[in-house]
Structure 1
Amino acid sequence: MAELVSKRYAEALFEVALEENSLDKFKEEIKAVSNILDSEKKLKTIFEHPKLSNDEKKDILNELFKDNISKEVLNFLYIIVDKGREKYIKDIKDEYIMLSNEEQGIVEGEAITAVKMDDEKLERLELELSKKLNKTIKLTNKIDQTVLGGVFVKIGDKVIDSSVKGRIDELTKSLNKASVTKKEVESK
């Protein structure tokens, strides 16, 4: 049910975005709304509370976003409130991003590193991967100290491991295979 609801609403927003030539603008706006609601747990709890009237919820949206998002996205949020679908905003955002990216030939992924990558290096990595995969790659940088060094990239179901840890793991596997082979030779 949730998937069907979020898909239907995302498609509606997507159609309006296409008409308005605002795919990226709406993507950023719906992301911002979803991120604020997700990061402010008290706000989300209040906003999704069933005893709060639709008008009160719209007032909250208006107060928070009126000057920061387009009237189309704000009106879309009002419709979500009128239909009682507030709890699906994050799912709607995810579906919308998927539709928008598909339309634009964009594939999103993660570059996981031990320390934050500077923007120039991240852009170079995106360019290099875009050329190799024949798609426009957009990466977000996630920090994970277990990476040790290098970069671990996840794009959909593809994983590119050029981290130090990945190289050590590969070397360990190779050495284990080599030692097994050596034992087999000695036993013959």
Structure 2
Amino acid sequence: MVNESSIEYATALFEVALESKNVHNYFHQIIMVNELLEQEEDYLRLLEHPKIEKAKKTEMIGNVFKEAIQKEILHFLYILVDHNRIRNLNEIVIELTKLVNDYHKVLDVDAYTTVELDKKQRQTLTSKLEQKYKRKIMIENHIDSSIIGGMRLVIGEQIIDNSLRTHFAKLRSVLK
């Protein structure tokens, strides 16, 4: 379950990005920061450590990111540190991604198949989903041999399961 404060922080950052007409840059910069912090677990632990003063943590962030990101993103990180929320950055990025995708009318789709979709299959699926949802579709193809055949799509909270595994399970329950 998503922490409610992560949604609030993501919304606040998104609103600042909209006001400054800088959604694309802010979004990519916060993703970069998040990826770096995920890779540097020890650094993240230092930023969370209760015995290190917040001023020192702010200084640490400034030393690492000051030249690499815009000042608004830097100040956002300072706020996260000040409110002991730096550990929530990944959740915030997930929520921010939803807001940015909605803003750009992009819909992320996870397609689970037994083999990688080829270019034509991907284009056909994308086209059909774009017609249905009236949004730009971004497909992430995941290989899952447990579905036996067919496809399972996860679109937000919606699951469209047209896998052989599900068909066999339904058939099994009917035959019982």
TM-score category by the smaller chain? 0.7 to 0.9
TM alignment of 1:43-82, pairs within 5 A:
43-82=43-82
TM alignment of 1:37-186, pairs within 5 A:
37-117=37-117, 122=122, 125-162=125-162, 166-167=163-164, 169-171=166-168, 173-174=170-171, 177=174
Cα drift, residue 17 of structure 1: 0.7
Cα drift, residue 75 of structure 1: 2.2
Question: Partners of 2:144 and 2:20 in 1: how far apart?
Answer: 39
CA radius of gyration, larger in: 1
Residue segments in structure 2 that go unaligned for 5+ positions in a row = none
Question: Partners of 1:153 and 1:109 in 2: how far apart?
Answer: 7
Question: CA offsets per residue over residues 127-183 of structure 1, 9 Å max, x none?
Answer: 431122222222333343324455421002222334xxx225415644774x67xxx
Structure 1 94/172 Cα, relative in aligned 2: closer, same or farther at 3 Å? closer
Residue segments in structure 1 that go unaligned for 5+ positions in a row = 181-188
Question: Partners of 2:41 and 2:116 in 1: how far apart?
Answer: 27
Question: Partners of 1:29 and 1:14 in 2: how far apart?
Answer: 13
Cα drift, residue 123 of structure 1: 5.7
Cα drift, residue 47 of structure 1: 2.1
Cα drift, residue 60 of structure 1: 3.7
The Cα RMSD (Å) is 3.1
Matched residue count? 175
Which residue does the alignment assign to 1:22? 22
Could you tell me the TM-score, scaled by structure 2's length? 0.75
Question: CA offsets per residue over residues 55-109 of structure 1, 9 Å max, x none?
Answer: 4323443454345433321221122223332222223222222222233322223
Question: Partners of 1:142 and 1:7 in 2: how far apart?
Answer: 27
CA contact (8 A) 2:148 2:165 kept: no
Which residue does the alignment assign to 1:186? none
CA contact (8 A) 2:114 2:148 kept: yes
Question: Partners of 2:91 and 2:159 in 1: how far apart?
Answer: 25
CA contact (8 A) 2:112 2:143 kept: yes
Could you tell me the TM-score, scaled by structure 1's length? 0.71
